[in-house]
């Protein structure tokens, strides 16, 4: 700091000359305006408005002025430093606004992007529906039984009373793994990809002593073209009960319980006569349409897509186990009777979930399976 002035002469203090203060102010203002970002502005502040800045050092010189000169110099200095501080605050606000706008753009999160780059698949609804049906029957005391998909003709046809000349045994209908009589001299029976789950009935009866209550889910194969309502590989569930005194009424009551568990209360079922070599009598089992509850039948004002306005939906084939089948499996038909029921899960899935094309079920596209949920 300069020595005190005895008489007023601001020129004596070089740094307090008006033009010098203006120069320092203008230099500071130019530096503030030139600061391109907040870091640069911070440096500008230290250099032009900090304790060691030219204006601050000049400010200290005011003390060296005579009292009557201090006011004028102080006013001039105050205005210069005020202008610099104001410019600094304005530039800081401007740069902060620029930074905030940039951050908003650069750090924006697109919440619509997939959150998982390796999404988990979903269990196939055929699997979950099969398990649901198994649960219904296990709760009634049934066991789950399985059999091989590559099956002998004997189990697939003969033991089920399906005669040698039955059309189902023709090469056009059944996929033969080994033709009868060839290679397998010891076993005359040919080998096929099972065409239904009914051979598991026979295997189960040979394996266990009655009473028998089993449910047999599994994959089956037929020479069918893949189209909207057929697939050459599909899933059936077979139900078999062998006990003393079983009748068609037990069969109907059991299926009605299954229908209630899968579709809700209040739906009736009906039996239509049919023929299967392995059951006698045999029937086709229908359930009342769970969407229109039968109201669409004969009512053009209330069409129903689910049952094609029939009012009924075909569930599958059933009947009392033919005594010949019981005998082939070593069970006394005089003592025991039994009922069986077999149905296709793909068809059940179609009408239960309004799937219009069976091909969607076999293509393995998660866009089909995902809407059914991740049921474990
Ligand atoms: C049978 O397979 C008998 N074994 C069912 C049975 C069991 C009757 C026990 C009596 C006692 P059917 O050929 O009708 O029957 O087939 C049963 C179900 O399989 C059909 O109702 C249908 O839902 C399904 N199905 C048949 N062919 C196909 C196919 N190509 N694609 C998908 N589902 C099919």
Q: pLDDT digits over 119-141, tens only?
A: 777 889 999 999 999 999 999 99
| Residues 215 and 309 placed together within one structural domain of the fold | yes
How confident is the model at residue 186, as a pLDDT?
A: 45
199/294 same-domain check: yes
User: Is-contact 325 197, C-beta < 8 A?
Assistant: no
Q: Is 343 in the pocket of ligand 1 (CB under 6 A)?
A: yes
Q: Is 344 in the pocket of ligand 1 (CB under 6 A)?
A: yes
Q: Please tell me if the CB atom of residue 196 comes closer than 6 angstroms to any atom of ligand 1.
A: yes
CA distance 22 to 110: 51
Position 117 in a domain: no
So what's the pLDDT on residue 165?
85
Pick from 57-61, 112-116, 179-183, 230-234: least confident: 179-183
Nearest CA to ligand 1 atom 22: 344
Residues 135 and 24 in one domain: no
Ligand 1 pocket, 195 CB below 6 A?
no
Mutate to test the pocket of ligand 1, among 202, 347, 361 (most ligand atoms within 8 A of CB): 347
154 lines ligand 1 (CB under 6 A): no
Residue 114 domain-assigned (yes or no): no
Enclosing domain of residue 290: 125-372
User: What gap in Å lies between CA 357 and CA 178, rounded to an integer?
Assistant: 33
Rounded to the nearest integer, the mean pLDDT of the chain is 90
Task: Give pLDDT, residue 10.
Answer: 47
**Do 48 and 152 belong together in one domain?**
no
Across the range 316-337, mean pLDDT stands at: 96
The verdict on residue 136 lying in a domain is yes
Contact present, 222 and 195 (Cβ < 8 Å)? yes
Q: How confident is the model at residue 235 (pLDDT cuts 50, 70, 90)?
A: very high
Same domain, 99 and 136: no
- Tell me what percent of the residues of the chain surpass a pLDDT of 70: 94
Rounded Cα distance, 10 and 372, in Å: 90
Q: Which tops the pLDDT comparison, 345 or 12?
A: 345
348-358 residue pLDDT tens: 999 899 899 99
Q: Quote the pLDDT of residue 35.
A: 93
5 pLDDT more than 60: no
Tens digits of per-residue pLDDT, 35-49?
A: 999 999 999 999 998
- The pLDDT value recorded for residue 256 is 95
In a domain, 116, yes or no: no
User: Is residue 97 in a domain?
Assistant: yes
Ligand 1 in contact with 157 (CB < 6 A)? no
Here the CATH number for the domain that contains residue 166 is 3.30.930.10
Strand arrangement of the beta sheet that strand 233-243 belongs to: 143-144, 212-221, 233-243, 337-344, 312-321, 279-288, 269-276
CA distance 49 to 28: 8
Co-location of 161 and 96 in the same domain: no
Same domain? 262 vs 180: yes
Whose CA is closest to atom 21 on ligand 1?
A: 316
Nearest CA to ligand 1 atom 25: 344
286 lines ligand 1 (CB under 6 A): no
pLDDT digits (tens, 9 = 90+) for 269-293: 999 999 999 999 999 999 999 999 9
Phi, psi dihedral angles at 281 (to 5 degrees): -75, 165
C-alpha 343 – ligand 1 centre gap (Å):
5
**pLDDT tier at 375, thresholds 50, 70, 90:** low
- Mutate which of 157, 166, 196 for ligand 1? The one with the most ligand atoms within 8 Å of its CB, which is 196
3 belongs to a structural domain: no
CB 174 near ligand 1, within 6 Å: no
Q: Does one domain contain both 95 and 142?
A: no
pTM (global) more than 0.75: no
Which helix (H) or strand (E) segment holds residue 256: the answer is helix 248-263
pLDDT for 288 equals: 95
- Do residues 137 and 239 share a domain? yes
Give the model's confidence band at 199: pLDDT under 50 very low, under 70 low, under 90 confident, else very high.
very high
Q: Which of 77, 106, 135 is the last residue of a domain?
A: 106
Q: Name the band, by pLDDT with cuts 50, 70 and 90, for residue 67.
A: confident
**Residue 131 sits in the same domain as residue 100:** no
Q: What is the pLDDT of residue 320?
A: 98
Query: Is 5 within the bounds of a domain?
Result: no
Domain count for the chain, please give it.
Answer: 2
Residue 212 lies in a domain: yes
pLDDT of residue 1: 52
65 and 147 part of one domain: no
Based on the domain organization, do 159 and 64 belong to the same domain? Answer: no
């Amino acid at each position: 700091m300069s020595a005190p002035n005895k008489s007023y002469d601001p020129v004596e203090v070089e740094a307090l000359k008006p033009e010098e203060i203006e120069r320092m102010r203008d230099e500071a203002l130019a530096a503030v305006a030139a600061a391109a970002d907040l870091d640069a502005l911070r440096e500008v502040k230290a250099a032009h408005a900090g304790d060691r800045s030219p204006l601050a050092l000049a400010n200290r010189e005011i003390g060296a002025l005579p009292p009557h000169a201090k006011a004028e110099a102080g006013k001039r200095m105050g205005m210069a430093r005020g202008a610099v501080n104001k410019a600094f605050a304005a530039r800081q606000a401007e740069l902060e606004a620029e930074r905030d706008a940039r951050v908003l753009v650069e750090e924006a999160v697109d919440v619509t992007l997939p959150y998982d780059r390796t999404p988990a698949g979903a269990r196939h609804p055929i699997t979950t529906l099969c398990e649901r049906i198994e649960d219904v029957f296990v709760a009634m005391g049934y066991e789950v039984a399985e059999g091989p998909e590559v099956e002998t003709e004997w189990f697939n046809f003969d033991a089920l009373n399906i005669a040698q000349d039955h059309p189902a045994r023709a090469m056009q209908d059944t996929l033969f793994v080994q033709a009868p009589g060839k290679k397998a001299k010891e076993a005359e029976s040919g080998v096929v990809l099972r065409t239904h789950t009914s051979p598991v009935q026979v295997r189960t009866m040979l394996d266990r002593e009655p009473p028998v209550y089993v449910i047999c889910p599994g994959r089956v194969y037929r020479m069918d073209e893949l189209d909207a309502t057929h697939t050459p590989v599909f899933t059936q569930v077979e139900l078999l009960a062998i006990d003393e005194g079983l009748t068609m009424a037990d069969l109907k009551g059991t299926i009605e319980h299954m229908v209630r568990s899968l579709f809700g209360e209040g739906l009736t079922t009906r039996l239509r006569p049919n023929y299967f070599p392995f059951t006698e009598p045999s029937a086709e089992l229908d359930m009342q349409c769970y969407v229109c509850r039968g109201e669409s039948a004969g009512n053009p004002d209330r069409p129903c897509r689910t049952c094609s306005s029939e009012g009924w939906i075909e569930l599958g084939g059933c009947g009392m186990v033919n005594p010949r089948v019981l005998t082939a499996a070593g069970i006394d038909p005089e003592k025991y009777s039994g009922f069986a029921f077999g149905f296709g899960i793909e068809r059940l899935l179609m009408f239960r979930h309004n799937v219009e094309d069976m091909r969607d079920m076999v293509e393995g596209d998660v866009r089909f399976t995902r809407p059914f949920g991740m049921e474990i």
